[in-house]
């Protein structure tokens, strides 16, 4: 038994590619269709109503591509708009619960910090899951508004003084809190991992939601008999809501493999 349809993944821009990269490593036989809403990034500063509207449009687009499951590779959508997936005809995966479970497993002192967009931090969704699993845990939430624009601009080198200064300012309260585990609560943030590690040191474990989510997807596909069983190389398609040129360059860097510009198409998400 198998299901050779593609996995659908969406995010507000480039960040979801950190989840795609983990899928490449974890379920290499699977085809992936990725939609990056680059024309409306970031989601984290929008109202809940707007985020839900965008998420519903993104999900509808992927359903039109005949995907077998959908991953919201976006911390903001996972935090405040996961209910848009309740009536989807395919399985839905979000990144918050998997990251929270990984953090509870990793922490030794019970102090867990969560960084994310304004919407993600305001929802406190990571904290709710953490406390349901570890009632005695201490959770600190920190909004890092400028992280997404930095990544989308291509500024994420740990040697860049602007990047390091920005990361240092946002993470100072996290350091003072004494967390030994930090959830990167936006899928853009793993791209800044080297800079974050440089600021916090190696005593803090970083939780990449993409890793945990990819493992959960692998387990689900195996249990449900939905794996793609093939003899040929997997195929991947990329869609964006703004011009593809800049996306192609950054995507190749973030994925660690060349992205064929001919396989990146622009779509008018507002007309779906």
DSSP codes of every residue in 23-70: HHHH-TT--EEEEE-TTS---TTS-HHHHHHHHHHHHHHHHHTT-SEE
Residues 180 and 235 in one domain: no
4 and 241 in contact (C-beta within 8 Å)? no
| Residue % of the chain over a pLDDT of 70 | 99
Residue 39 pLDDT level (bands cut at 50, 70, 90): very high
Q: What is the pLDDT of residue 103?
A: 98
Number of domains present in the structure of the chain = 2
Residue 209 burial class via C-beta count within 10 angstroms: exposed 0-12, middle 13-18, buried 19 and up: buried
**64 near 35, Cβ under 8 Å?**
no
**Segments forming the whole domain that contains residue 45:** 7-94+211-271
Same-domain status, 204 and 121: yes
State the average pLDDT over residues 248-263. 86
**Does 201 lie in the same domain as 100?**
yes
Q: For tokens 């708009």, name the residue.
A: 81
For 222-231, the pLDDT digits (tens) are 999 999 987 6
CA dist., res. 264 & res. 268, Å (int): 13
Q: Are strands 181-184 and 205-208 parallel, antiparallel or unpaired?
A: parallel
pLDDT surpasses 70 at 118: yes
- In terms of domains, do 113 and 180 share one? yes
Condensed to tens digits (0 to 9), the pLDDT of residues 138-167 reads 999 999 999 999 998 889 999 999 999 999
Do 170 and 227 belong together in one domain? Answer: no
Residues 37 and 83 in one domain: yes
Give the domain CATH number at 121. Answer: 3.40.50.1860
- The SS3 call for residue 265 is strand
Q: Which of 185, 209, 233 is the last residue of a domain?
A: 209
| Residue 239, strand partner residues | 35, 265
Residue 190 lies in a domain: yes
Of 107-111, 173-177, 247-251, the range with the lowest mean pLDDT is 247-251
Instruction: Write out the DSSP string of 118-175.
Output: HHHHHHTHHHHHHHHH-TT-EEEEEE-TTHHHHHHTT---TT-HHHHHHHHHHHHHHH
Q: Above pLDDT 90, what percent of the chain?
A: 86
Instruction: Tell me which residues are annotated as active site.
Output: 74, 186
Q: Rounded mean pLDDT of 65-88?
A: 96
User: Is residue 252 very low, low, confident or very high in pLDDT (cuts 50, 70, 90)?
Assistant: confident
For the segment 28-33, the average pLDDT, to the nearest whole number, is: 95
Mean residue pLDDT of the chain comes to 94
For residue 246, name the pLDDT band (cuts at 50, 70, 90): confident
Residues 102 and 200 in one domain: yes
Same domain for 122 and 198: yes
Q: Do 16 and 72 fall into the same domain? A: yes
Q: Which residues contact 15 (CB under 8 A, 6 or more apart)?
A: 73, 74, 148, 151, 186, 187, 188, 189, 191
Q: Does residue 250 register a pLDDT over 90? A: no
User: What pLDDT does 231 receive?
Assistant: 64
The answer to whether residue 79 is domain-embedded is yes
**Does the pTM of the predicted model rise above 0.75?**
yes
According to DSSP, the residues that pair with 35 across neighbouring strands are 10, 239
């Amino acid at each position: 038994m198998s299901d050779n349809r593609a996995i659908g993944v969406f995010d507000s821009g480039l960040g979801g590619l950190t989840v795609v990269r983990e899928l490449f490593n974890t379920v290499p036989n699977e085809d992936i269709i990725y939609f990056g809403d680059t024309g409306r990034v970031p989601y984290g500063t929008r109202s809940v109503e707007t985020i839900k509207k965008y998420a519903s449009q993104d999900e509808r687009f992927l359903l039109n591509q005949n995907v077998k499951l959908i991953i919201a590779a976006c911390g903001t959508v996972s935090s405040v708009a996961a209910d848009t997936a309740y009536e989807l005809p395919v399985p839905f995966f979000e990144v918050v619960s998997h990251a929270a479970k990984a953090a509870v497993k990793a922490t030794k002192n019970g102090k867990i910090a969560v960084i994310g967009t304004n919407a993600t931090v305001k929802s406190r969704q990571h904290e709710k899951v953490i406390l349901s699993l570890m009632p005695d845990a201490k959770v600190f939430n920190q909004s890092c508004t400028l992280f997404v624009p930095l990544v989308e601009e291509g500024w994420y080198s740990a040697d860049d003084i602007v990047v390091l200064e920005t990361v240092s300012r946002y993470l100072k309260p996290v350091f003072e809190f004494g967390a030994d585990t930090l959830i990167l609560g936006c899928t853009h943030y793993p791209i800044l991992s080297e800079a974050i590690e440089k600021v916090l040191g190696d005593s803090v474990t970083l939780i990449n939601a993409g890793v945990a989510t990819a493992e959960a997807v692998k387990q689900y596909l195996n249990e449900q008999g939905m794996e793609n069983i093939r003899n040929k190389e997997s195929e991947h398609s990329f869609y964006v809501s703004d011009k593809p040129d800049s996306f192609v360059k950054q995507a190749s860097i973030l994925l660690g493999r060349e992205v064929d510009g001919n396989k990146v198409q622009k779509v008018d998400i507002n007309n779906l």
